[in-house]
Structure 1
Amino acid sequence: MSSAVIDSSPTAPPSVLSRPYRALSVGMVALVLLLAFEYLAVATAMPVVARLLGGLSLYGLAFSGSMAASVIATVAGGRWSDARGPVAPLWTGVAGFVAGLLIAGFAPTMHVLIIGRFVQGIGGGLFSVALYVLVAQVYPPAMHPRVFSLLAAAWVLPSIVGPAITGAVVEHIGWRWIFLGIPIFVAPAAVMLWRGLAGRATVVPQEGRAEPAPSRAGFGARLAWGGVVAVGAALLQYGSGLGGRGLVLLVAGLAVLAFALPRLLPPGTMRAARGFPTVVLLRGLAAGASFAADVFVPLMLIGERGLSPTQAGLFLTGSALSWSLASWIQGRGRYDRKALLRCGTALLALGIAGTALLVFDAVPILVGLVAWLMAGFGIGLVYPTLSVLTLELSEPGEEGRNSSSLQIGESVFSVVVIAVTGAVFAGLDTAWWVYLACFGLIVAQATLGPLIAGRVQR
Structure 2
Amino acid sequence: MTTGRQAGTGDAGVPAGAPPAGSPLAPPHRALTVGLLAIVACFAFEAMAVTTAMPVVSADLGGAGAYGLAFSMYLTASLAATVLAGSWCDRAGPAPAMLTGLALMTAGLLTCALAGDFVLLILGRAVSGAGGGLMIVAVYVLIGICLPERLQPQLFGWMSAAWVLPSLVGPLAAGLLAQLGAWRAVFAAVVPVVVVAVVLIRRQLRAAGAPAAPELTGAAARRRLVAGRVLAAAVLAAQASLTVAVTAATEPAAPAGAVLPTVLTGATVVVAAASLRRLMPAGFFRFGAGLPAVMWARLGLSVTFFGAEAFLPLMLTTVHAAPPAVAGLTLTTGAVGWTAGAFWQARTRVPPHRLIAVAATLLVGSMAVMAAVVTGPVGLGAAMIVWAVAGFGMGVGTSVAGVLTLRYSTSADRGVNASSMQLADQLGGVVGTAGAGALFGVAVARSAGADAAGGFVLMWVVLAALALVAVAAGLRTGLRAA
Q: 2:137 aligns with which of 115, 121, 129?
A: 129
Structure 2 gap ranges (5+): 1-19, 249-257
Deviation at 1:78, TM superposition (A): 0.9
Letter in 1 for 2:222: G
Q: 2:420 aligns with which of 405, 421, 425?
A: 405
Match of 2:233 in 1: 231
CA distance in 1, matches of 2:472, 2:54: 38
Deviation at 1:343, TM superposition (A): 1.1
Deviation at 1:20, TM superposition (A): 1.4
CA distance in 2, matches of 1:343, 1:133: 27
CA distance in 1, matches of 2:281, 2:190: 36
Matched, 1:369 2:376: no
Match of 2:75 in 1: 67
CA distance in 1, matches of 2:390, 2:425: 17
Q: Counterparts of 1:276-315 in structure 2 under 5 Å?
A: 276-315=291-330
Contact 2:74 2:128 in 1 (8 A): yes
State the Cα deviation string for residues 75-94 of structure 1 (Å, max 9, x = none): 11111111111112112111
Letter in 1 for 2:326: Q
Structure 1 gap ranges (5+): 1-11
State the Cα deviation string for residues 99-157 of structure 1 (Å, max 9, x = none): 11011111112111111111111110110001111001100111111111111211121
Q: 1:446 aligns with which of 467, 470, 477?
A: 467
CA distance in 2, matches of 1:204, 1:323: 34
How many residues of Structure 1 are paired with residues of Structure 2 in the alignment? 441
Q: 1:16 aligns with which of 21, 24, 48?
A: 24
State the Cα deviation string for residues 250-279 of structure 1 (Å, max 9, x = none): 334323323322221112213320110110
TM-score by length of 1: 0.91
Deviation at 1:333, TM superposition (A): 5.0
CA distance in 2, matches of 1:158, 1:438: 28
CA distance in 2, matches of 1:259, 1:75: 15
Contact 2:333 2:385 in 1 (8 A): no
Contact 1:342 1:450 in 2 (8 A): yes
Q: Counterparts of 1:206-285 in structure 2 under 5 Å?
A: 215-242=217-244, 243-245=246-248, 247-248=261-262, 249-285=264-300
Deviation at 1:364, TM superposition (A): 4.8
CA distance in 2, matches of 1:105, 1:352: 38
CA distance in 1, matches of 2:199, 2:460: 44
Contact 1:270 1:281 in 2 (8 A): no
Range with greater deviation from structure 2 (442-451 or 182-191): 182-191
Match of 2:204 in 1: 197
CA distance in 2, matches of 1:294, 1:226: 27
Contact 1:279 1:390 in 2 (8 A): yes
Letter in 1 for 2:125: R
Q: 1:32 aligns with which of 40, 43, 58?
A: 40
Q: 1:58 aligns with which of 62, 66, 69?
A: 66
CA distance in 2, matches of 1:135, 1:62: 31
State the Cα deviation string for residues 178-230 of structure 1 (Å, max 9, x = none): 11121132233233233x537x6223256xx8x89x83111111111111111
State the Cα deviation string for residues 19-76 of structure 1 (Å, max 9, x = none): 1111111111011101111012222222221222112222222212111111111111
Give the secondary-structure state (helix, strand or coil) at the position aligned to 1:273.
coil
State the Cα deviation string for residues 361-394 of structure 1 (Å, max 9, x = none): 4345333332222111111110110000000001
Deviation at 1:326, TM superposition (A): 1.0
CA distance in 2, matches of 1:124, 1:162: 18
Contact 1:351 1:373 in 2 (8 A): no
CA distance in 2, matches of 1:369, 1:114: 34
Q: 1:80 aligns with which of 68, 73, 88?
A: 88
Give the secondary-structure state (helix, strand or coil) at the position aligned to 1:373.
helix
Matched, 1:92 2:103: no
Identity %: 36
Letter in 2 for 1:202: A
TM-score by length of 2: 0.87
Contact 2:294 2:473 in 1 (8 A): no
CA distance in 2, matches of 1:146, 1:59: 38
Matched, 1:323 2:344: no
Letter in 2 for 1:303: T
Q: Counterparts of 1:134-149 in structure 2 under 5 Å?
A: 134-149=142-157
Deviation at 1:319, TM superposition (A): 1.3
Contact 1:81 1:133 in 2 (8 A): yes
